[in-house]
A and B are shown apart, each in its own frame.
Chain A
Amino acid sequence: MDQQTFLSLLDELFETDAGVITPETALKEIPGWSSLTFVGLIAMIDEECGVTLPPNIILNCRTVGDLTAHVLQKRAAA
């Protein structure tokens, strides 16, 4: 998995067109971000990336790029 694949998964989850979500996008400013999509995001990372990221780790990520780095790092460590 690379950054581009992860961005595509985010596009699918948030139903956004490619390019709307970039590594620089602030996590909580993704269009459609809510407590529901937050849980959806945890589920997507668990299902598609095979890693379980605690909610506080995700919320401490400022941007999509920070989150992607966490996911890829945790995958590499697994």
Chain B
Amino acid sequence: MATMQVSGIRIAGLASAVPDQLETVDDDAARFGREEAAKISQSIGVTSRRVAPAPICASDLCHAAAEKLLNDLGWERDTVQALIFVTQTPDYLSPATACTLQSRLGLSKGCAAFDISLGCSGYVYGLATAAQFAKGLSNGTDGSGRVLLLVGDTITRVISPQDRSTVPLFGDAGSATALEFNASAAPMSFVLGTDGNGRDHLLIPAGGFRTPRTAATGERTARENGNIRSDDDLFMNGAEVFMFTLCEVPSLFKNATQAAGWTIDDVDGVIMHQANSFMLNHLRKRLKIPEDKFVVALDGYGNTSCASIPLALSATYAKKADESRRLVLAGFGVGWSWGGAAVTVDNAVLPEVVIVPGLPAVVREAA
């Protein structure tokens, strides 16, 4: 497993944003029947989730989170030296969404900006990359080397409304994390891994250059278990995802904790990718992680792909930011790709989750 440590970089703050529109188990009951919807909801631990209406992109949610965070931090825009955007649902195939976000946020032309294409593991990969950038860009004085990491997805916009393996589970969210040099910051440890053999189990088959979109790829037809889906929609084989998780996540968690020289007793909180509560509870039991240290914060939001770890952090720790916490993060999924991090979050700015209106107020009032 690729392991690294970055010293002298702190997380200055983190904000998350979700759309104002909710979908609930009642909406699922109308599609899949009440009994089926209730069973699914009970298993995955999601009774409602945030869903972005059509014009809203992951970049919009990340933009809202970044505006809140930059204002709360009081960072001058021209002090940000790099912007990294992690998503599977970009604004365009080209250009990189990070470029549009650089201009929307009013960052300087001297700011590096690029995208990383990863899903459930994306926050940890993004954090590792952002920390390395912050380190490289800093001049050794506290507050230099400022990097903005924006991580978000609107997975509900690539799922079929008649696919019960995805509809009741996924939600949309964006996040912004600010990093900067600080000589006394505790080191961050990262472990990263990949197994591309998992490609076909969690996949949007069409829409790239391997299989471009056509009328045929957009046609929704009956697939396994009576689910109706097209090749433009996200496909998920839940059993294979679960199997992959059982095989990789226990060692991922242990390696990340050990990389920092910690045991579970040193850890204040474990935040895994908020896949679903059934999987999270299984992993918690298997790893013997005490319940009070294990964050499960997906009801009301759903599985928000790469944004699930920062969103769970915001939902759990906002307003309790003035403490120092040793956290172990673990992201895992589409790829297969996985990453673990052991980080100390000390006196960071952690605003409450920002709610983003889906439609302009004028339109909403008229509706």
Partner-B contacts on A (CB < 8 A): 34-36, 38-40, 42-43, 46-47, 52, 54-55
Contact = CB atoms under 8 A, between A and B. Distances in A.
Given A42-B246, A43-B278, A35 B239 contact: yes
Nearest to B225: A35
B43 interface: yes
Nearest to A41: B239
Interface string B128-169: 000000000000000000000000000000000000010000
Contact of B40 (A36, A40, A55): A36
Interface residues of B, number: 17
Interface in B208-226: 225
Where chain B touches its partner, the secondary structure class is helix
Nearest to B282: A43
Nearest to A55: B239
Nearest to A58: B239
B75 interface: no
B355 to A, nearest CB: 31
A47 B286 contact: yes
Interface in B245-279: 246-247, 278
A54 B243 contact: yes
Contacts, number: 36
User: What secondary structure prevails in chain A residues at the interface with B?
Assistant: helix
Contacts of B243: 42, 52, 54-55
A39 B246 contact: no
- 8 interchain residue pairs of minimum CB distance: A55-B239, A39-B242, A43-B282, A52-B246, A35-B225, A39-B239, A38-B239, A36-B43
13 contacts: A35-B165, A35-B225, A35-B238, A35-B239, A39-B242, A43-B242, A43-B278, A47-B282, A52-B243, A52-B246, A55-B237, A55-B239, A55-B240
A6 to B, nearest CB: 19
